[in-house]
Structure 1
Amino acid sequence: MTDAVCINNVNFSYGSNKILRNFCAHVKYSQIYSLLGPSGGGKTTLLKLILGRLKVQQGQISVLGMPPGEANSNISFMPQEIGLCYNFSINQTLRYFKLIYQISNEDFYTRRKTLTKLVNLPNGDRLVSQLSGGTQRRLSIAVSLINNPGLVILDEPTVGIDAVLRNEIWHYLVDKCRQGMTIIIVTHYIEEAANSNRVGLLRNGHLLAEDDPKRLLALYQEPNLEAVFLKLCCFEDKSITSGKRYTNQPANYNQQNGNGNGYFDSATYPAKPPGHKDPNNNEMFVVTSADTGGNDRNDSISSSSTSSFGTRLWAVKFWILVSLVYRNLAKFFYSYFSIIIILLPATQALIYCLAVSKDTVHLKAAVFNQELEPGYGNEFIRQLKQVRDYAIQPTMHSSWESALKAVHNRSALGAIWIPNNYTESFDIRIEDAFNADNATVDNSTIRLYMDNSMYVQSLEFVHTLLESFTDFSKTVFKEKDMQAIEFPVELEMTELSKDFRFRDYYMPGYFLLFMYIAQITVASLTLTQERKDGLFERSLVAGVSHELIFISHIVTSCIISIVQIVLLDLTAFGMFTNPNNGSYWLHFVFFLLQSLNAM
């Protein structure tokens, strides 16, 4: 087989927009093939089809004797964008592709030295983000040649590179072709393509012509390729306007008819089949879009990328995975925003603990005592005790309306009303409870009005009030030499039956929520950067499987989560005396699983 890339009758469209129309092209081994054409002509789509990144809708493509995507281990691709990790240094970038391409140390150092000199790279410790646009493109060229592939595809490789260096790169590429390398170059520098072995002129999704550039110049009697391209474009436009079939076939008009205007009429100059002879009796391949001489094929070639699992050594895949994880971490930590994300769970834990870890929380109460003389009402208010970390702080009011107003104004959490004759009624109720009338029961009852909008504190307020009243009633019974009736239930104290604070109950849920939010942010940031980078597409073409990329993000997320969990635990349990009665490793695993769930 003499063709490294063979494309026959390929059609491709995005919806109703046809990109390629019966496209045919042949790239021979050990040659430089330049594909020329305007923006939007289908060049990038064609490259994706060759690399297997898009599925062929109709037609057939063969790349190094295999379907698209299956020979990518022997193909190197330089995208039109830079396609590099900006957080890597020059040396790190080259080592990253060394691992992906499985290059031996000896070959790597030899090629790195040669390519560094060729493209004039600066100090290898400089970050890609610190390089100029032209230097980044030169590094991208070095990356595409570091693995010495059988086929190199370069999309606009010399944009922004000075003429002298561009000439040196072309000499290097010509020399590599002599050694057996095949090169496809997509460029809009038409005159630069004159150095190629073969040129394809692309317009509107099909080739106008394909041949040796010198033969094209001689055949069309033009001084440069730009004039040849314009002549073919004008002829195509004229044929469309006149309604005649366009056959992009050159005619020997200079010898046969003496006509040098370059606008060919197929009626006067009949189309000739591919393989006809030019004036110098050299065979020329000219592509005919309308009549290719072959049958259309409806069968499509799947562009599935072969998984590296099961076909590569586990050691090699491990080091590729390490490189991907290192790349993900480098890209993540390059942004100052990443520090905020790393510290987010620990910061939220700090704020939470500062908010709820006060030694004593004072719950304000508005008290209206109707008793004129000192009695049980005043005694009960004085004996209000602290329960857990909560203590009721009473404020006396002269009227019930004033006490209620304090609650409505949020200056008090609850209003306590001690009725008139409370002491006398309470004594009667203790000494003769069965004969107490309704008025006695009513006057011996303390009324409580709560603001439940602060639900947690209102629960603690009621609990503290009831605990205080229980102790107060025991005191009154003791003064009367009476035994207070208690619930016939005794709570035995164990390690887990301690009087935990309410914040201890809510703390695990809050911390899990902080970890979840932080990891959603991390995953969004890393995956968005992954898709924006040209390095993602470049890595896939180089043979990195989707599975490895996915696993690398899981490992990256785990590493970031471990750092976040350690910082959170140091904050919650090191700086504050929060209890942790369960297994530390169990809660560590729960936090880690929650982080992965967020991803």
Structure 2
Amino acid sequence: MTAVEVRNGYKFYGRAKDPNKKIILNYLNMNVAHGSIYGLLGASGCGKTTLLSCLVGQRQLSSGQIRVLGMKPGNPGSGVPGPRIGYMPQEIALVEEMTVKETIFYFGRIYGLDDDEVQDRYKILRDLLELPPSGQLVRKCSGGQKRRVSFACAMVHEPELLILDEPTVGLDPILREKIWQFLIEKTKNSKLAVIITTHYIEEARQADCIGLMRNGILLAEDTPTNIMIRFESNSIEDAFLLLSQRQGTSEEADRRTFIREKLSAIASPDLKEKNDDVIIPEIERKDSIRRSKCSQDRKVELRNKIFFTSKSRMKALLTKNLVQLTRQPSGIIFMFLFPILQLSCFYLAIGNDPKDLNLGVVNYEIDDPKYCFNESLVTALSAEDTCNFHKISCRYINGFDSTLAKKVYYKTTEEALLAAKRTDVIGYIEFARNFSESMQRIIDDGRFTDEESFMSSELKVRIDMSNQQIAFFVERRLREVYQQFIEGLMVDCKLPKNLGNIPVQFRDPIFGSFHEEYREFIAPGVVMTIIFFLATLITAAVFITERSDGIWDRTLVAGISTFEMLVAHIFLQSGIMFFQCLEVIFYIALVFDVTNHGDNLSVIILLTLTGFSGMLFGLLISVYCKTHTMANFVATGAFYPMIMLCGLLWPIEGMPGILRDVALLFPFTIPTVSVRNILSKGWSITNYQVYNGFLIMLLWITLLFICCIIGLRRKG
């Protein structure tokens, strides 16, 4: 039985009936013997990498059959993908943040080895491949050093089949020769089969069998010596050129021509030259040892099994994820300081009184504004039964200081209006010339006061309403000052506090000041969006990086399932998100004195579920986006509609009915209301308007998880 057998392998991209479909493998037949080195040669783009990905179970043939170690790749119990093969891809496919030793241990644990076994294998490979120092980070290694580490990762578990895609690129000739001698020695004394692709065609003369490939067709498959004899050439490279010229243009192979059985490499004369009397008993002995060892490993694996994975594999994945996060200072800052920074910006910028405003003052009651600042000025003088007012407009002006606005004095209303139009001032207040006398008549005459006095006693205010929030603030503060002004007059004149004959009505707020209520209204939504999209960005960045660097595919080839990788990431990220939620809750409580009238635990759990949902959304983005740029576009495109429509900036009750129904479907529209009800009203999780937020978030988590699994399987 051969180690690898491909029969009529056909692979194309596009539609089957499309005459312009891209043919990658063209009815290819291939045999790789146990205990041999198979050199797969061909120019870039001829289909070598695609063929290897089919052998390791990452891609499927459009038609034809593949048998690897006697079974179809991907079948249960085949060990492919898994520990029966070692795979070194063309790209480096290593975690840049890990050290050399951690990288070897990562792959060793994935393959099911315990730490002592990995340590022993590491020492052997370190000396053989002249690996960099154990504590050196992979990102600080040279290109040649990274390839040696990558090769060691493929060999750490002593596989039955070793697949090397361009392993010697970037290595010096001495080290290339050393690797070839190691492979030759290994295949002579064991059943190990090696498939190696290389651009250095002449070094493939050391292989036991060579397959010459061009445009998806295997032109020849034989020993190096036989190929050179057949084509009467002095080198493998010359023979390859002759074959390429004969094969001609890239057309689809004739099925009747290429559906045939080729001689396996093990049947070639040169392979028979090996001393079978010595090799065969040795191979049988090692096979017996390997079978015994595999049986023991299987028992250990079953003991260490945790539901769908094992302790060593989960330890490897969690260690990798933790190292990736902790060894990037920017990542740590982004994860733990970003929420603090965002919330600080929110609470410092939103809900505070506007400052540095200019307010115009037109006071016809006095000629010089300095008159109002005369310390000896008495504005209300109480006698036995009367109270005389004198320039009480000054009393009102002095009632508010620069915390409200800086006062800018104008002589006429026209000047103040022109300044307001130029936006030099936010607005202006105007006092009539007989303001004090008119107020005096209102108090003295009550409802019999003449209309002119009522008009003259009015405080005329004109505010620029183009900025409604500032205008509302100024109007509210002016009313507060006016109320204090009236109350002060009544106290000085010893008048009853409840004067029905003063034509002023003050609208007292129900739940405090406007800016405080507005901040309390939008704060839960701000916190939830921070948690949600922070998790989205981190998850999308991690998985896209792993895919682009080849780490994802290499881990899959090692036998790890997408579900295991997803669970490992969820496990670590859930812990981080829980800590972030604790951090957020205690930070706003201690620093900004935000009172939670409800249960902190309920808020933390709901925020954690929000981050969990955001993490799955990030994973879904990474499944369909190949680059960070595209992922950022998608995340940003989703962010703004959710922010505008989730009720964060304005209550959803103010939206049209159809738009409101759409907004209710967003992942944190209803949960934001739940958090708001917990914080502001103190409602518990038993209340419908609280637990419905939990239900909606759990529904979104389930939906996103299903979409992620479907997408990963389709992409895989």
CA shift in 2, pair 1:572/1:404, >3 Å: farther
**1:154-176 deviations in whole A, cap 9, x for unaligned?**
10111222333223322322333
Please tell me the residue identity of whatever aligns with 2:74.
Answer: G
Give the counterpart letter for 1:126 in structure 2.
Q
- RMSD over equivalenced CA pairs, Å: 4.0
Q: 1:275 to 1:527 in 2, by over 3 A?
A: closer
Preserved contact between residue 8 and residue 258 of structure 2 (Cα < 8 Å): no
Counterpart selection for 2:194 from 183, 186, 202: 183
Find the aligned partners of 2:586 and 2:234 in 1 and give their Cα distance.
76
> Does the 8 Å contact 2:359/2:407 carry over to 1?
yes
The alpha carbon displacement at 1:205 in A equals: 0.9
Name the CA distance, whole Å, in 1 between partners of 2:206 and 2:154: 20
Q: Tell me if the contact between 1:137 and 1:157 (Cα under 8 Å) persists in the aligned partners.
A: yes
Shift in Å, 1:22: 1.1
The superposition leaves residues 355-402 of structure 1 with CA deviations (integer Å, 9 ceiling, x where unpaired) of: 56989956542221222494332222233489xxx6455443221123
CA-to-aligned-CA distance 1:280-307 (integer Å, 9 cap, x gap): 99999xxxxxxxxxxxxxxxxxxxxxxx
1:549 paired residue number:
565
2:426 and 2:459 map into 1 onto residues whose CA distance is 16
Structure 1 position 325, deviation (Å): 3.4
Alignment pair present for 1:24 and 2:29: yes
Question: RCO greater where, 1 or 2, for CA within 8 Å and sep 6 or more?
Answer: 1
Q: Which runs of 5+ in 2 are unaligned?
A: 15-20, 273-300, 367-388, 616-716
What amino acid is the match of 2:306? W
Q: CA deviation at 1:211?
A: 1.6
Between the aligned partners of 1:575 and 1:239, the Cα distance in structure 2 is 71
What is the match of residue 64 of structure 1?
A: 69
Aligned 1:238-257 pairs, distance under 5 A: none
Distance, in Å, in 1 between the alignment partners of 2:165 and 2:517 is 63
Counterpart of 2:321, as a letter, is: N
Partner of residue 338, structure 1 = 331
Matched, 1:466 2:475: no
Which residue number in structure 2 is paired with residue 105 of structure 1?
Answer: 115
What displacement does 1:95 show?
Answer: 0.9
Cα deviation for residue 97 of structure 1 reads 0.8
Secondary structure of 1:223's match?
Answer: coil
* Contact kept? 1:121, 1:138, Cα under 8 Å: yes
Q: Which residue is 1:146 aligned to?
A: 156
- What displacement does 1:135 show? 1.4
Paired residue for 1:414, among 424, 427, 448?
Answer: 427
Distance 1:346 1:68, change over 3 A: same
Which of 470, 492, 498 does residue 484 from structure 1 map onto?
Answer: 498
Cα shift at 1:230: 2.1
1:481 alignment partner, SS class: coil
Distance in 1 separating the partners of 2:443 and 2:312: 82
Distance 2:68 2:404 in 1: 80
Q: 1:393 to 1:273 in 2, by over 3 A?
A: closer
The equivalent of 2:362 in structure 1 is 368
For 1:587 and 1:394, the matched residues in 2 are separated by 45
Report the CA distance between 1:508 and its aligned residue. Answer: 4.3
Out of 313, 334, 356, the residue aligned to residue 305 of structure 2 is 313
Amino acid across the alignment from 1:540 = L
- SS where residue 41 of structure 1 aligns? coil
- Whether contact under 8 Å (2:353, 2:515) holds in the other structure is no
> What amino acid is aligned across from residue 327 of structure 1 in structure 2?
K
> Structure 1 residues 165 and 481, CA, compared in 2 at 3 Å: closer, same or farther?
closer
Equivalent in the alignment of 1:457? 470
**Number of residue pairs matched by the alignment:** 542
Give yes or no for the alignment of 1:442 onto 2:455. yes
| Counterpart in the other structure of 1:526 | 542
Alignment of 1:267-346 (within 5 A): 313-314=305-306, 316-342=309-335, 343-346=337-340
Would you say the 8 A contact 1:236–1:246 is kept in 2? no
Pick aligned residue for 2:218 from 188, 207, 212: 207
Shifted more, 533-542 versus 445-454: the winner is: 445-454
- 8 A contact 1:236–1:248 mirrored in 2: no
Matched, 1:400 2:409: no
Alignment CA distance shift 1:585-1:319 (3 Å): farther
The C-alpha deviation readout for 1:546-592, integer Å capped at 9, x for no partner, is 11222333344345445655665676454555545544434433443
3-state SS, counterpart of residue 3 of structure 2: strand
1:10 paired to 2:23: no
Q: Which amino acid aligns with 2:50?
A: T
CA contact (8 A) 1:239 1:246 kept: no
Q: State the SS of the aligned residue for 2:31.
A: strand
Query: How much does 1:524 deviate?
Result: 3.8
Displacement of 1:542: 0.5
Describe the SS at the equivalent of 1:20.
Answer: strand
Q: TM-score if structure 2 supplies the norm length? A: 0.67
Residue 122 in structure 1 maps to residue 132 in structure 2: yes
Q: 1:366 aligns to what SS in structure 2?
A: strand
Q: How does 1:210-221 map to 2 (within 5 A)?
A: 210-221=221-232
Cα distance, 1:273–1:581 mapped onto 2, change above 3 Å: closer
Task: Tell me which residue corresponds to 1:305.
Answer: none
Q: Distance in 2 between matches of 1:239 and 1:107?
A: 48
Aligned counterpart, 1:47: 52
1:82–1:245 Cα change, 3 Å: closer
Give the counterpart letter for 1:367 in structure 2. V
| Alpha-carbon separation, structure 2, partners of 1:125 and 1:426 | 86
Q: Is the 8 A contact 1:370 1:418 kept in 2?
A: yes
User: Against the structure 1 CA distance between its residues 326 and 374, is the aligned structure 2 distance closer, same or farther, given a 3 Å change threshold?
Assistant: farther
What corresponds to 1:197 in structure 2? 208
Mapped partners of 1:192, 1:281: distance in 2: 21
**What one-letter code is carried by the residue in structure 2 that aligns with 1:414?**
G
Q: 1:34 aligns with which of 17, 32, 39?
A: 39
The one-letter code of the counterpart of 2:191 is: G
Does structure 2 conserve the Cα–Cα contact (< 8 Å) formed by 1:275 and 1:283? no
- Residue-by-residue CA offset, 1:324-356 (whole Å, 9 max, x unaligned): 233234334444542552333323334445556
Paired AA for residue 151 in structure 2: I
Give the TM-score taking structure 1 as reference length. 0.79
CA distance, structure 1, for counterparts of residue 250 and residue 609 of structure 2: 66
How many Å separate the matches in 2 of 1:402 and 1:239?
86
SS of the aligned residue for 1:3 comes to: coil
**AA matched with 1:404:** L
207-216 or 139-148, which moves further after superposition? Answer: 207-216
CA–CA separation in structure 1 for the residues paired with 2:249 and 2:101:
53
Instruction: Say whether 1:501 aligns with 2:516.
Output: yes
Cα–Cα, structure 1 residues 227 and 349, in superposed 2: closer, same or farther, change >3 Å?
A: same
Q: CA, structure 1 residues 274+141, in 2 after alignment: closer, same or farther (shift >3 Å)?
A: closer
**SS of residue paired to 2:194:** strand
Confirm or deny: 8 A CA contact 2:208 2:223 kept in the other structure.
Answer: yes
**Structure 1 counterpart of 2:95, one-letter code:** C
Q: What residue is the counterpart of 2:99 in the other structure? A: 89
Per the TM alignment, residue 534 of structure 1 is displaced from its structure 2 partner at its CA by 1.7
Q: Secondary structure at the match of 1:347?
A: helix
Give the drift of 1:190.
Answer: 1.9
Greater fraction of residues in helix = 2
Judged with a 3 Å threshold, the aligned counterparts in structure 2 of structure 1 residues 412 and 515 are, in CA distance, closer, same or farther, namely: farther
* Paired residue secondary structure (1:325): helix
- Residue by residue, what CA displacement relative to the aligned partner does 1:393-429 show, whole Å, maximum 9, x if unpaired? 5443221123234433444333112223223333444
State, as a whole percentage, how many aligned pairs show the same letter: 29
Distance in 2 (CA, whole Å) between partners of 1:362 and 1:275 is: 90
Gaps of 5+ in 1: 250-271, 285-308
Q: Using the TM superposition, give the Cα deviation of residue 10 of structure 1 relative to its aligned residue in structure 2, in angstroms.
A: 1.8
1:32 and 1:174 in contact (8 A); partners too: yes
Aligned-partner SS, 1:72: coil
* CA gap 1:230/1:504 in 2 versus in 1, 3 angstroms: closer
Letter paired with 1:48:
S
